[in-house]
Chain A
Amino acid sequence: MSQGLNAVSGLDIVIGNINRSEGAIASWAFGRVLVATNRLHKRIGKNINKTDHSLERLRQMGHPYAKRNPRNPHKKIPHTVHRQSGTLLSALMKPQFKLTKESIIGFVELDEGMAPHARWVIFGTTKMIKRDFLFGSLQEIRDDIIKIFQKGRGNFGADGEAKTFIFSTSVGTTTDLF
């Protein structure tokens, strides 16, 4: 009897190992999501609290984010937002998590009620260029997040045996904020 070229042997063993270690895997995964989300929260907070240019200084620079003179002074991190009243930072909520049967999601959101102008900063207007600090911050630390998950090639013991699981991950971004 011949076997197909794509026959996989031992698949039932792999599935059995995964099933026995399900709890440990979920716990490990949640830990990683926690670390990644906290890092994202910190980066967003940093990006919306810049104090290198005061409001007066921005005025002297000719309002660099406005249509009349659009010259973003932060070329490397174009989603930088300078602190004015601090409302935007106050509106940044603590990291949150959502667990379903198939997924663990960590996310960071803004309280739009506290900072209704956040929408204009993120998406831009006809008179002001956008500075999407949520998406931009995530992009900044995207490689770090992937490393956080790749670093954890976990050894999940089951019945006294050490087994190694190698995880692959993809980082997705959404702006489903409002």
Chain B
Amino acid sequence: MQSLRALIRSQAIATTAITNKVSDRIYPSEIALVENPVFPCLNFSMDSGGGSDFDAPKIHNQAVAVWAWSTISYDEAAEVYETFFNAFQRTRFKNDDLFALFAEATAPIENFDELTLAYNIFTRWSVTLIDRT
């Protein structure tokens, strides 16, 4: 998971459209675990479940939860999310440990955090991983 986490963050930071919106504020954990998050931002976390086929143990499926945040509006959060979507949807990335193919698995859901008055867009992604080791 560390390898996938690092891959997502490095690819996101390498995408100009994303960093134009959120700079390097792509937090690789739940927002509740981030000390003083700055908005707008993106964050993601690994979900439980997934696994591999008995006959193809090197091919896994991993669910990743992704949030795009804004303190201004849902529209801005949606714009942030769109940069992530455009960079990752049906795109294959790789690092030394794995290949990863990303696909959006759920439609975006809007939520409003009443404590910090922040808008967020939540989606779940399905990542197909092939172990290169």
Q: What is the interface of chain A, defined by CB distance below 8 A to chain B?
A: 66-67, 70, 78-79, 119, 123-130, 132, 135-136, 138-140, 142, 172-178
Contacts and interface: CB of A to CB of B under 8 A. Distances in A.
B48 A139 contact: yes
Given A130-B30, A175-B109, A139 B63 contact: yes
Interface stretch (B1-9, B90-98, B113-121): B113-121
Interface of chain A, main secondary structure: loop
Contacts of B45: 130
Contact of A129 (B33, B48, B63): B33
A176 B108 CA distance: 8
Interface of B: 30-33, 37, 45, 47-50, 63, 65, 67, 105-107, 109, 111, 113-116, 118, 120, 122, 124
Given A135-B63, A139-B63, A174-B107, A67 B33 contact: yes
A140 to B, nearest CB: 8
Contact of B107 (A119, A138, A176): A176
Given A135-B63, A174-B107, A124 B49 contact: no
A175 B106 contact: yes
Contacts of A172: 105
30 contacts: A70-B33, A79-B48, A123-B122, A124-B32, A125-B32, A125-B115, A126-B31, A126-B115, A126-B116, A128-B32, A129-B32, A129-B33, A132-B47, A132-B65, A135-B47, A135-B124, A136-B49, A139-B49, A139-B63, A172-B105, A173-B63, A173-B105, A173-B124, A174-B105, A174-B106, A174-B107, A175-B106, A175-B122, A176-B107, A177-B109
A136 B122 contact: no
Contact of A125 (B50, B106, B109, B113): B113
Given A123-B109, A126-B31, A175-B124, A136 B48 contact: yes
A172 B118 CA distance: 30
A174 B48 CA distance: 15
A67 B122 contact: no
A124 B48 contact: no
A126 to B, nearest CB: 5
Nearest to B120: A123
A107 to B, nearest CB: 13
